[in-house]
Amino acid sequence: MGLRDVFIHSKELLTESYFENVTRSHKISNSTTVGLTIQRKQFFDKLSDEIHRLAQMEVSVLLVWGREDKAIPLRCGQEMHRILRGSRLEIIDNAGHVPNFERAEEFNQLAVDFLRE
């Protein structure tokens, strides 16, 4: 399973140029292993605590999720939405892990509308 299978739902967006940009850092020896180790230790393991801490703050939160996200499934976004009282969960159809790229216009409109509220 790779980038094509997990992160991007709209396969027509997966051009050579896109791959060159997003995989540039992976071409450095051991960078992928080191990066994943850091993410798992410093992000994924602490995510639950961070979400609960954020839930205690009185801030507006917009969660935007790609319905076809295979990296972090929609159920995780729905759980975050449940924990973050008053948050807004927007689900973008036909998008995977990077809806801001796959459905840029829709994402941007959601973000602008949210910021205007």
**Residues with active-site annotation:** 97
User: Letter for the amino acid at 77?
Assistant: G
What SS3 state is found at 19? helix
Residues 6 or more apart from 35 whose CB is under 8 A from it? 25
C-alpha–C-alpha distance, residues 3 and 97, integer Å = 10
Other CB atoms within 10 A of residue 84 CB: 20
DSSP single-letter state for residue 100: H
Q: How many CB atoms lie within 10 A of CB 74?
A: 15
